[in-house]
Structure 1
């Protein structure tokens, strides 16, 4: 098979490596390893299994589990048929899982054994799901039986690069998550652009630990597949799992800053072990400057790469490279770097929609082939986010300096980023407002040295209620990371003359004297 300059579909590179180096390691997960030939065969068998279940172009399948190579196999297989995979956040509560699966229209659902009970509790409210297939971490499960019984199927003849391949659900400003529809062309453009200056070399091994329901997991996984590098996937993001990957030869990874903080606190042996990393990419939440400086000192031979972006652009839009991390201009450490190849950026006055002067704040806009097709079944939300000429309005406030470095300084959208996870306060407010004792509520992010931000709620109550009860109420209805860590009680929330709650006034006491980009 000739060398591929640039694939058109996600499964093409896997087929290429299966033909050119069939017995080389492709993926290792827990106690199992698959060669490129074996991995390609599993993708083709899954394509056959889905075809036998009536899955074709325009359909959607769901996957609910912690990290598992089966998720990658299903994504590539469904994508090769013109179908999409919705990778469900395994941290969601049952009601949230129900909404996502019904909204995306999933017809077949793959579910990890840890989450079978969640699905069973809502099964009668999933009318579109015709079959649920269980997946276990070590195999010997229904999923493996389905593969074994399947007849391999080739890529669909009518497949188009603009076909949706992944639907990633991101919390929505209306209190419900929005499905971000990503095509083959979007994801391949991201793969080609994001780490073009740091390609994988022979012998490199990719450590994939970020959850696959996040672009930091699914998009990052593509780099190993694209470059033909072996990938080591962990089920969880914990010290033992990460250490196991590095001991197995991994020298490339992407993680959120909170994980890095845990490593540095684990002692000299852990710090020494992580020194084996050739590149350490981080993003999804701000890196506290003291933590970053400590990491640069601890790992002098490691190239640090910060990335900034959003699910809507498949992940990375700007990048701060190794030279800037260790250069003389330390002010750049709080920047998000420069746009990657294939990404245009503008800083726009959100009221006039005119570009602002260099150094002035405005809304960050991107234009790129990486940009999503739109929000699933939400044309109005798509039209609000994407201009007719293709510019994506991020909702983030930032500025460009005279050298073209982007500084992300605030957010228009009422969103909290905690440990790399996006939390829209209105979603949390909707749940807390349902508590019988709550009269009014405001939720926002406050500084947290480990997670970047923590969720804080301020409430006015009609009767005395313990903080623990309110937090517990939220935990029964929301994923744990979305729930407030602390709750303050006030007589009344501050409002402007039109009655709008003044969150900025509430936040101010917590953020005073801090830069958002450095917390």
Structure 2
């Protein structure tokens, strides 16, 4: 802990922590529930909250709409007659109505269930059967995907459809959002008690290795996630010689889909200080560059792929993005070239930031930024104050310092378990509250964490461990490599050997890439098979490469 950190975490400071009766660290101050947090946003009034390509929504408009929808959720006569604890499914693109629906659920004491907007009808049906919602709030595209499911259940939930132009919106208990009565800003939210120990969200995992599981978080856990995000922001400001909370609020461009926990970190941070979020209907680097300049965006947040594409397109256009002061990435491992390219073009004007978190940790629990990140781009930084780290062997004992083990985490912002799945909960969370991440990591001498690889991604080649993330980082060093995915493929003698699928520009060939990788890697780590292509690698909605799809299609067609 340095002196700046002590200013934030000392007893009585904004981010001081205490250990609860359950042995976990928790923040001593701050809101107790997401409802309390949402209620503070009315104070920002006419400040823009969300800016889309179609218009803008102020904090006053947002809070009035969320309060009105929360009352409709609970009203037994003119509304849906839901009860606190019922599930409210939200499935749509990053429309302003997503935020209205999510926070209306919190104001009403419901459990918000954001669904992956990329899911197919079958995937949506699986989650709907699993969580049994009392209401669905969907856009027109997602309505088409859930329509068949609605026709199969004997007592369908209420369904509220926004942006349903061009879609036949009909059926029992189906309404159009645009036809609801206008929100009365004087009424406020419904009168309902929401307690810290009650469930706030049910977030489905990405499902890259199997069926997604519903990770359940209490209000207490989600307010811990808010505090984590604000702590990292405050420490960043102090390290840059600024006073946290002073000066104009950031104007952020948030490219994560709202259903992803990395987006939660972004909109929690904005809402806490009255910041503005600029949204894209879908990712497009040309549109992003234009909107950064048009709205004076100061902070960019997205997966490493979108950040790299933004920087590359801005360079092609010779646009210095003069208002930009920070670029934060998460949701997928960031290649070291990202911070190197950012520093080479913008020097210290634009602060790089990277974070580590999972659905089960409700977003970022470690972070690195500024000079620390520039000097150590292979690290994901130090943990937040209410987060403990253990690098463990399979039995749970801590490994010696500097050795690789599984990353275990414990603290306020961890989920309580998986929805109606005690076996999966017990397998992931120990009796004393440690969450097994499934990631291999090293704890460095200064307290920083370096994530080495996913346990399931590690290749064991002839008894030697090969960490795919290390090989990918070596490939990314080549200036013509745009994307790289490394994984293991079967070998009759060695058990496994290393393969790579790489998206490149120009005429780069596999042998040149293998030679390039061999300059910095031991011979057994160099990919035995390299496939180059100009098409983008398959990814899920959160930006993670679908290595399972690449393995299943191996070997590729000649």
TM-score computed with the length of structure 1 as normaliser = 0.76
Q: Of 325, 345, 364, which residue of structure 2 is paired with 1:278?
A: 325
Pair 242,454 (structure 1): closer, same or farther in 2 beyond 3 Å: farther
Alpha carbons of structure 1 residues 484 and 457: separation in structure 2 relative to 1, 3 Å = farther
Residue 264 to residue 173, structure 1, CA distance change in 2 (3 Å): closer
Offset of residue 13 of structure 1: 4.1
Specify whether residues 237 and 126 from structure 1 end up closer, same or farther in structure 2 by C-alpha distance, changes over 3 A only. farther
Cα deviation, residue 306, structure 1: 0.8
Distance in 2 separating the partners of 1:114 and 1:291: 34
TM-superposition CA deviations, 1:367-417 (whole Å, max 9, x none):
11001121111111111111111111111111112111211112224699x
Q: Distance in 1 between matches of 2:443 and 2:212?
A: 30
Residue in 2 aligned with 1:488? 554
1:350-375 deviation digits (Å, cap 9, x = unpaired): 1x321111101111111110011211
Secondary structure in 1 matching 2:142: helix
Aligned to 1:429: none
| Most deviating of 243-252 and 254-263 | 243-252
Partner of 1:34: 57
Equivalences for residues 78-477 of structure 1 within 5 A: 78-127=105-154, 129-136=156-163, 142-146=176-180, 148=182, 154-172=189-207, 175-194=210-229, 195=232, 196-198=234-236, 199=244, 201-246=247-292, 247-268=294-315, 270=317, 272-300=319-347, 301-327=349-375, 332-350=376-394, 352-413=395-456, 447=472, 449-453=481-485
Q: What is the CA–CA distance in structure 2 between the aligned matches of 1:110 and 1:321, rounded to whole Å?
A: 37
CA contact 1:277–1:302 (8 Å) conserved in 2: yes
User: Tell me, what secondary structure is at the counterpart of 1:272?
Assistant: coil
SS in 2 for 1:101: helix
Uncovered stretches (5+) of structure 1, i.e. residues with no partner: 417-443, 461-473, 491-519
Does the residue aligned with 1:334 lie in a helix, a strand or coil? coil
**Does the residue aligned with 1:260 lie in a helix, a strand or coil?**
helix
Shift of residue 455 of structure 1?
8.1
Contact persistence 1:459–1:489 (CA under 8 A):
no
Q: Secondary structure at 2:406's aligned position in 1? A: strand
Measured against aligned partners, the alpha-carbon deviations of 1:123-144 in whole angstroms (never above 9, x if no partner) come to: 3235564222211199999213
Offset at residue 339 of structure 1 (A): 1.1
Cα deviation digits, residues 458-498 of structure 1 (max 9, x gap): 899xxxxxxxxxxxxx99xxx997472572259xxxxxxxx
The 3-state SS of whatever aligns with 2:34 is coil
CA distance in 2, matches of 1:334, 1:366: 19
Determine the C-alpha separation between the residues in 2 that align with 1:138 and 1:459.
53
Change (3 A) 1:357 1:455: closer
Rounded to whole Å, the distance in 2 between the matches of 1:102 and 1:407 is 38
Q: What SS does the corresponding residue of 1:345 show, helix, strand or coil?
A: strand
Residue deviations 1:282-335 (CA, integer Å, cap 9, x gap): 1222222234311221222111111011111111111112121334xxxx2111
Task: Classify 1:189/1:324 alpha carbon distance in 2 versus 1 (closer, same or farther; 3 Å).
Answer: same
The change in CA–CA distance for 1:325 and 1:14 in structure 2 (over 3 A counts) is same
Deviations 1:143-163 (A, max 9, x none): 132252789562443211222
Judge conservation of contact 1:9–1:80 (CA < 8 Å) in 2: no
Shift of residue 81 of structure 1? 1.7
d(CA) in 1 for partners of 2:208 and 2:544? 19
CA distance in 2, matches of 1:457, 1:220: 37
From the superposition, tell whether residues 170 and 452 of structure 1 become closer, same or farther in structure 2 (CA, over 3 Å): farther
Deviation at 1:172, TM superposition (A): 4.9
Q: CA deviation at 1:451?
A: 4.6
Other structure's SS at 2:364 match: coil
Checking the alignment, whether the CA contact within 8 Å between 1:170 and 1:177 is kept in structure 2 is: yes
Tell me if 1:47 matches 2:112: no
Query: Deviation per CA, 1:17-63, whole angstroms, max 9, x where unpaired?
Result: 42x34222222222222222221111111101211202221100111
- Hey, what's the Cα distance between the residues in 1 that align with 2:280 and 2:377? 29
Q: Residues 265 and 105 of structure 1: is their aligned pair in 2 closer, same or farther, counting only changes over 3 Å?
A: same
Q: CA RMSD in A?
A: 3.4
CA contact (8 A) 1:28 1:233 kept: yes
TM-score normalised by length of structure 2? 0.71
CA contact (8 A) 2:330 2:356 kept: yes
